[in-house]
């Protein structure tokens, strides 16, 4: 009984801020795993890391002008997605991703200095917080999840094709450039939802970790997608419980738990001598 009580102390499910955290966290995990599936498929972890990180500048800008943080996150993640998509040529996406990220972070440091932002507010946005999620945030995040589900349902086939066999997709009339832009906008959508909960530094863990682990377990793309969502949801639930128990930042637990799942995936693949079912080299 002792352990159970220590793991599930009173208020974990009943206090209103934790209810918001459970709702928002679960929605964010589903959304991130969904988009993360395509991130791993396309080998786009850098973009998945850069977009949420760049959106931090938007939050800092919102603090400076007294605007809405979520709106600032949305504007800057969309801008950075467009920036990466429009600057990148096929051969140098990493460079342009790095430069777009630098531009955003440079602006972010300027906004922080000019705004004289209160430090705990900055830390919360960097490392994630579970106490600060309001009911309005929950509705906004659920709205973003709905949008992402709709977009993925509509774009699933062309996105899958352009990810695993871009040349074939191009021949079938699926524009590589347009798909890249749409994909990055989906990453921006996931980032906007995830940053308030998990933090700007570790939002990409929820995108890359579950999908990278699922690549070892799933035997087909759809199976891998479903397993990624499952792992993502489990990861955020574990993380919320641990964060509530210990008072430590939720981002740390998300990074640790998703890394453990990835390690299990590699172990599984090693035991059964299997290759990843999705990812650039499986194509």
Partner 1 sequence: MLAFLASLLAAPAVGTALLIGSFVAVTSGVVGVFVVLRGQSFAGHALGDIGTTGAAAAYLGGLPALYGFIGVGILGGLAIEGMGERARGRDVATGIVLSLLLGIGALLLYVMTQRSDATGGPVAILFGSIFTVDPSVAVPVALFSLLAFLLLGFLYRPLVFASVSPQAAKARGVPLQGVGLLFMLALAIAVEESALVAGALLSTALLIGPAAAAVRWTRQIGQAAALSALLGLLAVWLGIALAYQSYFWPPGHRGWPVSFFIVMAVLLEYLIARIRPARRAARAAEPGEAA
Judged by the rule CB under 8 A, the positions of this chain that interact with partner 1 are 40, 43-49, 90-95, 97-99, 101-103, 105-107, 109-110, 112-114, 116, 119-120, 123, 126-128, 199, 201-202, 204-205, 208-209, 212, 215, 248-249, 251-256, 258-259, 262, 279-281
Query: 233-246 in b/e burial notation, b at 16+ Cβ within 10 A?
Result: bebbebbbbbbbee
Whole-number Cα distances in Å, 41 to 7, 23, 150, 202: 36, 28, 20, 20
User: Closer to partner 1 at the Cβ: 68 or 92?
Assistant: 92
Q: How far is the CB of 44 from partner 1 (least distance, A)?
A: 6
Residue 258: closest CA among 197, 214, 200, 195: 214
Placement of tokens 């709702």 in the chain: 23
Q: How far apart are CA 60 and CA 123, in angstroms?
A: 11
Q: How far apart are CA 116 and CA 96, in angstroms?
A: 30
Q: How far is the CB of 97 from partner 1 (least distance, A)?
A: 7
Q: How far apart are CA 118 and CA 66, in angstroms?
A: 13
User: Closer to partner 1 at the Cβ: 66 or 120?
Assistant: 120
Residue 250: closest CA among 123, 119, 127: 127
Q: How far is the CB of 8 from partner 1 (least distance, A)?
A: 22
User: Closer to partner 1 at the Cβ: 138 or 187?
Assistant: 187
Q: How far is the CB of 255 from partner 1 (least distance, A)?
A: 2
Q: How far is the CB of 206 from partner 1 (least distance, A)?
A: 9
Q: How far is the CB of 251 from partner 1 (least distance, A)?
A: 5
User: Closer to partner 1 at the Cβ: 63 or 138?
Assistant: 63
User: Closer to partner 1 at the Cβ: 107 or 142?
Assistant: 107
How remote is the C-alpha of 33 from its chain's centroid?
7
User: Closer to partner 1 at the Cβ: 126 or 179?
Assistant: 126
Sign of CA dihedral 17, 18, 23, 25: positive
Q: How far is the CB of 63 from partner 1 (least distance, A)?
A: 15
Six token digits for residue 41: 């498929």
User: Closer to partner 1 at the Cβ: 74 or 88?
Assistant: 88
Percent helix, percent strand, percent coil in the chain, to nearest 5: 80, 0, 20
Whole-number Cα distances in Å, 32 to 85, 90, 194, 225: 20, 25, 8, 11
């Amino acid at each position: 009984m002792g352990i159970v009580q220590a793991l599930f102390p009173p208020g974990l499910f009943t206090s209103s801020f934790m209810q918001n955290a459970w709702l928002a966290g679960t929605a964010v995990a589903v959304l991130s795993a969904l988009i993360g599936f395509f991130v791993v498929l396309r080998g786009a972890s850098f973009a998945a890391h850069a977009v949420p990180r760049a959106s931090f500048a938007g939050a800092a800008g919102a603090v400076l002008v007294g605007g809405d943080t979520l709106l600032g996150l949305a504007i800057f993640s969309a801008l950075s997605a467009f920036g990466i998509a429009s600057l990148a040529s096929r051969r140098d996406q990493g460079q342009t991703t790095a430069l777009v990220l630098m531009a955003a972070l440079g602006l972010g440091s300027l906004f922080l200095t000019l705004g004289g932002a209160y430090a705990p507010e900055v830390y919360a946005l960097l490392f994630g917080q579970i106490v600060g999620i309001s009911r309005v945030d929950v509705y906004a995040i659920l709205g973003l999840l709905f949008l992402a589900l709709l977009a993925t349902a509509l774009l699933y086939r062309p996105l899958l094709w352009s990810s695993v066999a871009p040349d074939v997709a191009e021949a079938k009339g699926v524009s590589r450039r347009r798909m890249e832009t749409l994909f990055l906008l989906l990453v921006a959508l996931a980032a906007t939802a995830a940053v308030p909960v998990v933090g700007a530094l570790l939002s990409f863990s929820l995108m890359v970790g579950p999908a990278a682990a699922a690549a070892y377990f799933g035997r087909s793309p759809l199976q891998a997608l479903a397993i990624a969502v499952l792992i993502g949801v489990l990861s955020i639930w574990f993380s919320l419980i641990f964060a509530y128990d210990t008072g430590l930042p939720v981002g740390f637990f998300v990074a640790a738990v998703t890394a453990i799942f990835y390690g299990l995936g590699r172990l599984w693949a090693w035991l059964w001598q299997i290759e990843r079912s999705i990812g650039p080299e499986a194509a």
